[in-house]
Each structure stands twice: as C-alpha cells, then as structure tokens.
Amino acid sequence: MELQTVRPNIVQAIRAYRVDDLMQAAGGAGQHFLYANLSAAQSKQEVLEAIAAAFLFPAHFGKNLDALYDCMTDLVHKAGPQPGFVVVLEQIPDNPRFDREAREQLLDVFRDAADFWGERRIPFRCFYSFQ
C-alpha cells in the first residue's frame, strides 16, 4: 500500500485497508504509526484511557477530549519536527454508554488534529472502525 493514494490529512473509516498494511506504509514513509484497539472499552473514560495507554501519553494526561487534542497536537509539535502520522482507532465502541454523539466527538478531535497538522504541511491520516 502506498500512502500517496490517501489524502494527507484525513479521518476516514478503515474499510478496505488492513492494519498491517497501514503500519508497513507508515514505516516505509518514515511516519509515526499509532494504533489503539478499543474493543475492551465501553465508555468515554475507558476509550480515552485505552488511547492514552496505546499512544504512550504522559502520566499527566487529563483523560478528556481537550487533553486528547493537546496530546495529539501541541505536545507532539513542541517535541520537534514531525515526519507525519498514521493513526488507527480499531473497534470504537457502539453502545448506549458510548453512543453516536460520543463517537462523533472523539472523531472530531482527530479531525481537528488532522487540520492542525495539515496547516503545518505534516500528513496526519486517521483510520477507524466501529465494534
């Protein structure tokens, strides 16, 4: 798989892409690969905790959507030049404790992060699937 065939700053359903192919494409492009399997999460708090653990966020991570945005943007930006990102959020919950509105709010954070990195001409591709 070639990342050049995917828009550089996008959040989209994983559909026909395979996680292993995305990981290899990120490695081949010299970009960060961030993967979170959220199948065990059932609530917003559990989703944020799972992402924080998978992405190795600092211990002071506030476990809210604003803190998620900060960790995906400012914190990383301040660490120095970045080569780009391929993010996979697999098995986002689809249940009454993490309903459509919660899912959209989560994905909006990643859309905002894609815009942030796009303004800096850094690719940020996020792929997701639901349970």
Question: What integer is the mean pLDDT of 63-68?
Answer: 95
- Which residue has better confidence, 1 or 23? 23
Listed residue (105, 110, 128) closest to 9, CA to CA: 110
Average pLDDT over residues 62-71: 95
What are the CA-CA distances from residue 61 to residues 2, 3, 22 (Å)? 33, 30, 27
**pLDDT of amino acid 73:** 94
By C-alpha distance, which of 55, 58, 49, 41 is closest to 94?
Answer: 41
| pLDDT, tens digit (0-9, with 9 covering 90-100), for 115-129 | 999 999 999 999 999
pLDDT in tens, 74-110: 888 888 889 999 999 999 999 999 999 999 999 999 9
Query: For the chain, how many residues are written?
Result: 131
- In the chain, what percentage of residues exceed pLDDT 90? 83
pLDDT at 1 over 80: no
In this prediction, what percent of the chain has a pLDDT beyond 70? 99
Q: Say which CATH superfamily domain 10-130 falls into.
A: Barstar-like (3.30.370.10)
Write down the H helix ranges in 15-99.
19-28, 44-54, 65-72, 74-77
Lowest mean pLDDT among 33-37, 45-49, 56-60: 56-60
What is the DSSP code (8-state) at residue 82? -
Structure tokens that stand for 96 in this block: 């009454």
Domain locations in the chain? 10-130
Q: Give the strand order in the sheet containing 85-92.
A: 9-13, 124-130, 85-92, 32-37
Confidence of residue 2 (pLDDT cuts 50, 70, 90): confident
